Structure 1
Amino acid sequence: MSSPQCTAHFIGGPLDGHTADVTDWTVDEIATGVLHVVDSWTERADYEPEPGGDPLRWLYRGLHP
């Protein structure tokens, strides 16, 4: 039997409204968020959950070189 799909939601920034399948990620990996490459940008978009908030709601934190 497979695990139910687990989806993180990007809030704000260039990926607002997009989602990421994090079904096979660890709890720590999900809590860390991501530095996501955005097409045609030289910087990466930094997304992470609010401390103590919903770990699957990744908020835009700005650009990361």
Structure 2
Amino acid sequence: MIGTTGVVTLAIGGGESMGEVELSLAGGSERFLAVATEPIAIDETVLVVGVRPGRVVDVERWVAMPR
């Protein structure tokens, strides 16, 4: 799951404040609780950088580079 990108569905407050993200996995999508070091708003794209117990992922803001 690390390296997967997704979209924030419930804003993440930063620090240990949890939000929610939707990730595309195995041909479908699933929602996970998410934490990030900085606040991230709804509809922003994120990258999963860690996994915690209890369906919680560590994410950071993801900005795709133009080709």
| TM-score between both structures, scaled by the size of structure 1 | 0.28
Q: Which structure's residues are more often strand, by fraction?
A: 2
Larger gyration radius, structure 1 or structure 2: 1
| TM-score between both structures, scaled by the size of structure 2 | 0.28
